[in-house]
Homo-oligomer: A and B are copies of this chain.
Amino acid sequence: MSFNTFGRVFTFTTWGESHGPAIGVTVDGCPPGIALDEAFIQQFLDRRRPGTSKFTTQRQEPDQVRILSGVFEGRTTGTPIQLMIENTDQRSKDYGEIAQAFRPGHADIAYHLKYGIRDYRGGGRSSARETAARVAAGGVAQAVLRELAPDLRIIGYMAQMGRLHLDRANFDAAEIGNNPFFLPDASAVPAWEDYLNAVRKEQNSVGAAIEVLISGCPAGLGAPVYAKLDTDLAAAMMSINAVKGVEIGEGMAAAGLSGTENADEIRMGDEGPRFLSNHAGGILGGISTGQEIIVRFAVKPTSSILTPRQTINQKGEEIDLITKGRHDPCVGIRAVPVAEAMAACVILDHLMLDRAQTGGRRGLIG
């Protein structure tokens, strides 16, 4: 019920603001005896870290994670794991105008209306900096999944950036880590670079669509009716800053399909049921079927742009505002590791919930 907690039995609670001394996360309910150290978590944070390419914010944050509790002699103890990341590059600048003005597309006005007070420095709590804490929590989940579901793989990548779409014919997962776009198509990278450079020069920004594939997921995860696996995945992705839509499998395109096109037919394979297609995205009735799980979501364009926009300030005065600062021209890019982290947490949570209820036993076929 805690507003800043995600999960049911494997839970995490994030805290911290963009320009406070630190941000962090408490991971609770973690299975005991799992090998875990800072270096393992750090690799996930490094993928999300700002300042690593010219296409992300130039804020320089080492994002060095510290484990403050819950790990003893290299293994989790089953008690809460506190992960803290210090903020080091929160520039001490004059927030004069921003402090009183509501940046269009940002949470400023909403926080003001709700709370009557807000930490305006860098967006405070509404900053995407909070997602670093999620990535750290996701690192813990990945460490557990490595032991409990060794065949499971979670792969995130960009499927769209503005008017550019991933050409699925060229899909090569091995390329994702080799370019600043998490793009599984090396041949398209130059065009994406040119496009994003142009966007930035126009003092503009652009939206993105990210896809996450989860393969090797055991069948049977997800609990109808209000803890469906797809329900929790949708909540997980929609909770990420700037996300405006979430799809499972066919997603919104399902509205245009016929029943004969959509229902995935089933045959028997060597190791059990084999589906002839995957419009469902690996989930039926809220429960994983063993097929690949497919999640897709859209991130709106960065609202902080250098082009002046009309807005008001706290006094109710109409003003024009330029949002200076070190902003990503496409915030969607760094949402990739965040989405992988959220997916890892959801899957682990449901794996644990399932063994709570069923003890892991499964219905037989054949």
Contacts and interface: CB of A to CB of B under 8 A. Distances in A.
Interface stretch (A44-52, A172-180, A186-194, A217-225): A217-225
A231 B235 contact: yes
A266 B135 CA distance: 33
Nearest to A159: B255
Nearest to A83: B15
A108 B280 CA distance: 14
A132 interface: no
A263 B303 CA distance: 6
- Number of copies of this kind of chain in the complex: 4
A5 B32 contact: no
15 contacts: A1-B11, A5-B5, A15-B82, A22-B68, A79-B125, A105-B280, A114-B358, A162-B255, A207-B254, A234-B246, A245-B247, A251-B252, A257-B300, A267-B310, A280-B300
A114 to B, nearest CB: 4
A209 B361 CA distance: 37
A163 B276 contact: no
Interface string A185-214: 000000000000001000011111100000
A334 interface: no
Contact of A104 (B23, B266, B354): B266
Contact of A72 (B76, B118, B314): B118
A105 B284 contact: yes
Nearest to A210: B255
